[in-house]
Structure 1
């Protein structure tokens, strides 16, 4: 179990990076979609 705590950052850091990237991409796409919706007069 002691070795697991030493290897934990190797698992947590990529997981945080993937999560952050996913959220960032989703927010970016939502902003683009809302801008296009305003231009075309959509909801």
Structure 2
């Protein structure tokens, strides 16, 4: 998770600038990315 999340943040344009400019949007995007990463990890653990 620690390796995947920063790459996904970069790809989605989730930056510290966005965090300062629009914190609610940043939180929403971070929550979405975290769920996506967790889903990917669970899929790999369960189906591999």
Please tell me the TM-score bracket, short chain as reference.
Answer: 0.5 to 0.7
Could you state the TM-score of these two structures normalised by the residue count of structure 1? 0.60
Q: What stretches of structure 1 move > 6 A for 4+ residues in a row? A: none
Gaps of 5+ in 1: 1-8, 39-43
Structure with bigger helix share is: 1
**RMSD across aligned positions (CA):** 0.9
How many residues are matched?
Answer: 28
Could you state the TM-score of these two structures normalised by the residue count of structure 2? 0.54
Residues 1-43 of structure 1 correspond to what in structure 2 (within 5 A)? Answer: 9=21, 12-38=22-48
